[in-house]
Homo-oligomer: A and B are copies of this chain.
Amino acid sequence: MPAGRARGVSIEDVARAAGVSRQTVSNALRAPHRLRAETLDRVTALIEEMGYRPDQSASSLRSGTRRVLAYTTPETDPANPNALMSGFLEALVSAAGATGYRILLVRPRPGQEVVRALEEVIAARTADAFLLSDVVEGDPRVSFLSETGFPFAVFGRTGPELPQAWVDVDSAQAMIDVVGLLSERGHRRLAFLGMSAELPWLRHRTEGFRTGVRRFKLVAHEATADEPEEAVDVARTLLRRQPRPSALVLVDDWLAPSAYAAAQAEGLAVGVDLAITGFNDMPYARLLQPPLTTVRLPLRRLADALVSRLLQLIEEQVAPEAGLLLPAEPIVRASLP
């Protein structure tokens, strides 16, 4: 094989073959409108035929844009019900891919500060923007990136007035909808099983529940549990109240297996004597028997919105409107009589 070919097809190769300059080949891909139709056809055909793709490193080096979005996966504790939502990641890869961007997973090395990991990505010019999820109050990533002025967007929100681009699910409204559904079907006395952690998404859901109860003039009792076994006991206590609640609303699907066990222990048939609802539509929600009524997050729309905000920041260098709240859809399954 001739030595010069070892690295692959370069723009020079295509240009020579087409009898045009490098720039014309480049334009055929990046700014086709600049070429005469005839030239465009000829060059495009050759690009296709020779399998030419601009070398990403060379392109990035010269143009200063990477076409890569860095997603900082939150530290995943297997006990965390929110553990790295693979569904969201899926949606993210698709959404980014549709616009020619790729997703790079970033995570601090053991013992490394999160912020250091971000710093590295910025200094090495590895990505054009960051996407953060699972932000908490006073998240160091948010403050670091804000100070740096590096483009980023957040899935979720902390305080009510996060100045940055964020996209989140309107969990409060979704919870109100769930309560509305229960009310419609005649449920008057509800039980709510929450979790005690101080996390924004838990808070929004809990507040939504309370608003729903007030709005529909229902009666509710609440409790929290943080471990599955504890959840069984707490749920049993809730269900033993007199008069007995006819529906058990869970702050998250994660509590569902415990809730089902509690119902069984109390001699209640889920979906017959007792309604149970969850939140998240985790993969196991539809596996439970009876399948769990829950709230499905609009993952695809969330990802689309986040990506489009990031592209605005990167390409137009315009700050997009601060936040976007997307509605989440209750999925009614047999656990709701």
- A residues adjacent to B (C-beta < 8 A): 7-9, 51-58, 60-61, 64, 66, 68, 73, 76, 78, 83-87, 89-90, 93-94, 97-98, 102-107, 109-110, 119-120, 123-126, 228-229, 232, 254, 256-258, 260-261, 264, 282-284, 286-289, 291
| A256 to B288 Cα, complex, angstroms | 9
Whether B7 and A64, one on each chain, are in contact in the complex, defined by CB atoms closer than 8 angstroms, is yes
Whether A123 and B78, one on each chain, are in contact in the complex, defined by CB atoms closer than 8 angstroms, is no
**Residue in chain B with minimal CB distance to A66:** B57
29 contacts between A and B (CB under 8 A): A51-B123, A52-B123, A53-B120, A53-B123, A54-B124, A55-B61, A56-B57, A56-B126, A68-B104, A76-B86, A76-B87, A78-B87, A78-B283, A83-B283, A84-B86, A84-B90, A85-B86, A89-B89, A89-B105, A97-B107, A98-B109, A98-B110, A102-B106, A104-B105, A228-B287, A232-B289, A257-B257, A260-B289, A261-B288
Q: Which residues of B contact A256 (CB under 8 A)?
A: 287
Q: Which residues of B contact A258 (CB under 8 A)?
A: 287, 289
> In the complex, given contacts A7-B64, A94-B107, what are 4 additional A-B residue pairs having Cβ atoms less than 8 angstroms apart?
A56-B125, A57-B60, A76-B90, A89-B89
Q: Which residues of B contact A286 (CB under 8 A)?
A: 228
**Residue in chain B with minimal CB distance to A71:** B105
Choose one: B7, B51, B78, B264; the contact of A264 (CB below 8 Å): B264
Known: A57-B61, A102-B126. A93 touches B78 (CB 8 A): no
